[in-house]
Amino acid sequence: MVNQTLIQYFHWYYQDEQKLWQKVSSEAARLGDLGINRVWLPPAYKSTEGANSVGYDCYDLFDLGEFDQKNSIPTKYGTKEEYLQAVNALHDQDIMVVADIVFNHKAGADELEKVPVRRVNPDNRNEYTSDVFEIEAWTKFTFPGRKGQYSEFIWDKSCFTGIDWAEDLQESAIFSIQNEYGDGWEDVPSDENGNYDYLMYNDIEFRNPAVRDELKRWGEWYYETIKMGGFRLDAVKHIPVRYLNEWLDHMRNKFDRDFFIVAENWILDDVEKLKTYIDQTQGRMQLFDSTLHHNFFLAAAQGHEYDMTQIFENTLVQTNPELTVTFVDNHDSQPLQSLEGYVDFWFRPLAYSLILLREQGVPCIFYADLYGAKYVDKDKEGNDADVELIGMDGLPGMIKVRKTASYGFQRDYFDHPNCIGWTREGEDDMENSGLAVVLSNSEEGSKNMEIGKGHAGKVFIDSMGNRQEEVTINEEGWAEFFCAAGSVSVWIVKTA
Which residues are catalytically annotated?
234, 264
Rounded to a whole number of angstroms, the minimum distance from the CB of residue 250 to Ca ion is 19
- Please say which residue, 72 or 104, places its beta carbon nearer to Ca ion: 104
Alpha-carbon distance of 20 to 41, in angstroms, equals 9
Q: Which stretch binds Ca ion (CB under 5 A): 190-198, 284-292, 304-312, 366-374?
A: 190-198
HSE of 454 in the Cβ direction (CA atoms, 13 Å)? 17
Using the contact rule CB under 5 A, the part of the chain among 120-128, 129-137, 193-201, 331-339 near Ca ion is 193-201
CA distances from 272 to 38, 269, 292, 333, 471 (A): 28, 9, 13, 21, 42
Strands annotated E in 178-285: 202-204, 230-233, 260-263
Cα–Cα distances (Å) from 48 to 52, 54, 191, in that order, read: 8, 10, 28
**CA dist list (Å): 149 to 156, 266, 303, 337:** 18, 35, 56, 36
Closer Cβ to Ca ion, 23 or 212, answer by number = 212
Interface segment toward Ca ion; rule CB under 5 A; list 202-210, 248-256, 307-315, 320-328: 202-210
Based on CB atoms, which residue is closest to Ca ion, 104 or 418?
A: 104
User: CA neighbours within 13 Å on the CB side: how many for 269?
Assistant: 2
Cα distances from 31 to residues 19, 28, 87, 90, 359, in angstroms, run 17, 5, 13, 9, 21
Could you say which residues in the range 71-90 bind Ca ion, by CB under 5 A?
Answer: none
Which residues partner with 374 through β-bridges? Answer: 388
Alpha carbons 269 and 274: distance in angstroms, whole number: 10
Tell me, what DSSP letter sits at residue 346?
G
Nearer to Ca ion, 212 or 293 (CB): 212
Nearer to Ca ion, 237 or 293 (CB): 237
200/484 with CB nearer Ca ion: 200
Q: How far is the CB of 44 from Ca ion (least distance, A)?
A: 21
Size of the site for Ca ion (CB under 5 A): 4
Residue/partner pairs of 306-313 with CB below 8 Å, 24 or more apart: 306/417, 306/441, 307/417, 308/414, 308/416, 308/417, 308/418, 308/419, 308/420, 308/439, 308/441, 309/414, 309/415, 309/416, 309/417, 309/420, 311/354, 311/414, 311/420, 312/414
Per CB under 5 A, which region of 20-28, 47-55, 82-90, 196-204 contacts Ca ion? Answer: 196-204
Torsion angle (degrees, nearest 10) of CA 479, 485, 487, 489? -20
Does residue 23 touch Ca ion according to CB under 5 A?
no
Nearest CB to Ca ion, comparing residues 157 and 294: 157
- Shortest Å, Cβ 78 to Ca ion: 29
- 324-327 vs 362-366, strand pairing mode: parallel
Provide the 8-state DSSP code for 179: B
Tell the smallest beta-carbon distance from residue 163 to Ca ion (Å). Answer: 12
In the complex with Ca ion, the residue whose CB is nearer, 5 or 202, is 202
CA 36 to chain centre: 15
User: 203 or 425: whose CB is closer to Ca ion?
Assistant: 203
- The helix/strand/coil state of 54 is coil
Minimum CB distance to Ca ion, residue 196 (Å): 8
Comparing CB distances to Ca ion, the nearer of 124 and 432 is: 124
- Phi then psi dihedrals of residue 137, to 5 deg: -140, 155
Name which position in 27, 49, 197, 462 contacts Ca ion (CB under 5 A).
Answer: 197
238 touches Ca ion by CB under 5 A: yes
Q: Side-chain half-sphere of 56: how many Cα atoms within 13 Å?
A: 13
Considering the complex, what minimum distance in angstroms separates the CB of residue 244 from Ca ion? Answer: 11
Choose the stretch contacting Ca ion; rule: CB under 5 A; options: 125-133, 189-197, 322-330, 343-351.
189-197
Q: Which of 224, 291, 240, 235 is nearest to 262 (CA)?
A: 235
User: Strands (DSSP E) along 416-462, which ranges?
Assistant: 419-424, 435-440, 445-450, 459-462
User: Smallest gap, in angstroms, from Cβ of residue 204 to Ca ion?
Assistant: 6
Tell me how far, at minimum, the Cβ of 23 lies from Ca ion, in Å: 32
Interface pattern 297-316 for Ca ion (x via CB under 5 A): --------------------
For the CB of residue 205, give the shortest distance to Ca ion in the complex, in Å. Answer: 9
Q: Which of 79, 104, 195, 320 binds Ca ion (CB under 5 A)?
A: 104
Q: Judged by CB under 5 A, which stretch of 66-74, 97-105, 362-370, 435-443 contacts Ca ion? A: 97-105
Q: Is 203 in the site for Ca ion (CB under 5 A)?
A: yes
The verdict on 190 binding Ca ion (CB under 5 A) reads no
- Give the range of 3-11, 71-79, 98-106, 309-317 binding Ca ion by CB under 5 A: 98-106
Tell me which residues in 393-432 interact with Ca ion (CB under 5 A).
Answer: none
Collapse the DSSP code of 117 into the 3-class scheme (helix H, G, I; strand E, B; otherwise coil) and give the result: strand
User: Whose CA is closest to 62, among 138, 140, 8, 142?
Assistant: 142
Q: How far is the CB of 105 from Ca ion (least distance, A)?
A: 7
Q: Which residues bind Ca ion (CB under 5 A)?
A: 104, 197, 203, 238
